[in-house]
Amino acid sequence: MKFNTALLHKNYESDPLTGATVTPIYQSSAFSHESPEKLEKIFNNKAPGFAYSRISNPTVDSFERRIASLESGIGAVACSSGMAAVTMSLLNILKTGDEIIAGSGLFGGTIDLFGDLKAFGIKANFVKRVCNDEIEPFITEKTKAIFAELIGNPALDIVDIERVSELAHKHKIPLIIDSTTATPCLIHPIDYGADIVVHSTSKYINGGGNAISGIIIDSGNFMWDENRYEFIGEYKKYGKFAYLAKLRNGIWRNIGCCLSPVNAFLNTIGLETMGLRMERLCDNALQLAEYLDTFEDIDVNYPMMKKSPYYPLAQKLFKGKGGAILTIRAGSKERAFRLMNNLKLPLIATNIGDVRTLVIHPASTIYAHSSEEQKINAEVYNDTIRISIGIEDIEDLKEDFRQAIEKLREEN
């Protein structure tokens, strides 16, 4: 099945009860059963079925199964937010004294989270670029995960996932990839060696900016070594499903960061048109990047522009697509703000993956609490504007940016 067909048909089922073509919103906290024997079986994973929506729910289950198959995983667990997915993907395997290695250009929320984990005795070692030369010196017996974003947001650096996964596996460490900005449309990270994939499904999978949510997908490929990951003992009987079984029966359900049925429904609706949206978004992003590059006083960063150092990797990994985020530098914070004020169509908002074009000044918002060094590592400068492209007609976007930049010059 090709991608757009898979979005509609892979693991798709009309509602078994009614034939409804869209999986209905099962907005119920609990599910009743004909006997205590049946509920006992469901509780002990001895029979399929639903008991309580914090643990599983038919609408959420359908969303999970569709994303898992789309990403070539063996299963998925949906979460209340992308941050919950990132947190749970790690806490499922980490304990006090463990370390992780991560890119310093991560999403701001994830950087903040790694700061919070210090209180639990978990240390993150940051590398400026997620590449083997920089990762290897940090690898010790304590290293229990390598965490990276495939396309850094907003640095837009790209990880050579095949090489990094080779190194990780050589040291028996799982590679966890946040693939939010790359989306299943550009790449299936599991095919390139990722062990666990997380998405903030609030972004391109939902696609309409109407629900916060996240998901964790397990490849089932990682060999959890009992000596390094003690938890595995108890879950060994689940074979390649050990990680997912631990997650579902352990920290994920006990912390209670489940996805609501309504949000799962909204995501499923969005999912089905992701292919069409991403085609348009990537096309718009490239066209706007090339257009803005013709202005002398604007510096553009987009991986699919030939001048980007990541152009060859983007070509190789993403089938010629570059994603839907670009950044520009306007010369100063003051000029960046004025440019944003001059724009008529883009909304000034902290989100990506909406149908509308959004702009933000990361240094004064998402990175407001970061150190100067953290900002530089994430390529967040005082004059950086992040553009999350929308599906508007590109002529209108070009025209809007043209008038905004020209007005900026007149004001000087």
Ligand X SMILES: *Cc1c(COP(=O)(O)O)cnc(C)c1O
Residues 330 to 369: which contact ligand X by CB under 6 A? 352
Which of 53/110 has CB closer to ligand X? Answer: 110
* Count of residues that interact with ligand X, criterion CB under 6 A: 18
**Plot region of 313 (φ>0 → left; ψ -120 to 50 → alpha; else → beta):** alpha
Q: What is the DSSP letter of 330?
A: -
Stretch that binds ligand X, among 18-26, 69-77, 174-182, 372-380 (CB under 6 A): 174-182
Phi, psi of 99 (to 5 degrees): -130, 155
The residue whose Cβ lies closest to ligand X is 82
Element containing residue 292 per DSSP (H, E): helix 274-292
Residue type, 330: A
Instruction: Verify binding: residue 202, ligand X, rule CB under 6 A.
Output: yes
Quick one: 86 or 300, whose CB is closer to ligand X? Answer: 86
Spell out the residues 6+ positions from residue 35 whose beta carbon is closer than 8 angstroms to its own: none
**Closer residue to ligand X, CB minimum distance, 235 or 374:** 374
Q: Tell whether residue 200 is a contact of ligand X (CB under 6 A).
A: yes
Amino acid at position 75, single letter:
G
Question: Please, is 295 exposed, middle or buried when counting C-beta atoms within 10 Å of its C-beta (0-12, 13-18, 19+)?
Answer: middle
Looking at 6-14, 175-183, 254-262, 355-363, which segment touches ligand X (CB under 6 A)? 175-183
Of residues 109 and 331, the one with the C-beta less far from ligand X: 109
- Give yes or no for a contact between 383 and 336, defined as CB atoms under 8 angstroms apart: yes
User: With CB under 6 A as the contact rule, which of the stretches 80-88, 128-136, 318-326, 399-407 interacts with ligand X?
Assistant: 80-88
Binding mask 149-168 for ligand X (x = CB under 6 A): x---x---------------
Of 185, 229, 189, the C-alpha closest to 203 is 185
Please pick, from the candidates 61, 71, 160, 178, the single residue that binds ligand X as defined by CB under 6 A. Answer: 178
Q: Does 109 bind ligand X (CB under 6 A)?
A: yes
Give the span between the Cα atoms of 121 and 7, in whole angstroms. Answer: 41
User: CA-to-CA distance for 132 and 222, rounded, in angstroms?
Assistant: 19
Q: If binding is defined by CB under 6 A, does position 212 make contact with ligand X?
A: yes
* Binding region for ligand X (CB under 6 A): 81-83, 86, 107, 109-110, 149, 153, 178, 180-181, 200, 202-203, 212, 214, 352
